[in-house]
Structure 1
Amino acid sequence: MAGHIRSSAEMVAGARARIEEVETKDAIAMVGRDDVLIVDIRDVRERQRSGFIPGSFHAPRGMIEFWVDPKSPYFKEEFSGDKKYVFHCASGWRSALTVATLQDMGFEAAHLKEGFSTWEEQGGPVERIPPADS
């Protein structure tokens, strides 16, 4: 039998204790700024269902470490600039773990504390993907 398995809640709490968290109202003020890249790590189906932050860059959670690493064959130029990177998911859990991992890699980033879940109700702009014609 394995020893104590650290819970996901413990992992998220540990990550949040050591990373920069951005409040929704502050992130809303960052939309459209050239020196900020908001990175959406949600699944494509979440973006289709709930919409997304205008100008955000979609980077699926499973590829983040590879897309950020300039030595990786999967590196994306979006991560080479001198910008403030703010990652988000739906509720702030996946993005907290992501940013903690990126911090371990030496990549500076922050995350949207509450995630996308309260974005629209706090006045954040949302773009929606039009439904496909049937």
Structure 2
Amino acid sequence: MHVDHIGVVTDDADALAELYGTLFDAPAVHEELLDGLRVVFLELGENSYFELLEPVEADTDVGAYLDREGPGIHHVALATEDIEAALATAREAGVALIDDEPREGAWGHEIAFLHPRDTGGALVEFVQH
């Protein structure tokens, strides 16, 4: 596994993309609308990204998070070649799963989240390309 991306919640993806582009030489390489979110990926290097999450519809989980916590780091995504095995390992370790089964995420990748109460307070996502 390796860190695939860091998810950052924002109320202005354009402004944050411009800032990160300047600070980190991180160009925007992908953008889409997904589940009421504008999702923008900024490339940090080979297979490493910032994922900017901007709620564009009311009543999204990420929108509620933004209202409650404010902008900032939302999750850390780890790339795996076998998401089913990664989830099985998490289950065997007693970690609660937010997603019992993989689901489609941005770029059409399979994703699944682990509950932060069992991962030291960090929301962890598995992603399989």
Same-fold call, TM cutoff 0.5: no
Larger fraction in helix: 1
Is the strand fraction higher in 1 or 2? 2
TM-score, normalised to structure 1's length? 0.26
- Structure with higher Rg: it is 1
Of structures 1 and 2, the one scoring higher in RCO (CA 8 A, sep 6+) is 1
State the TM-score, normalized to the length of structure 2: 0.26
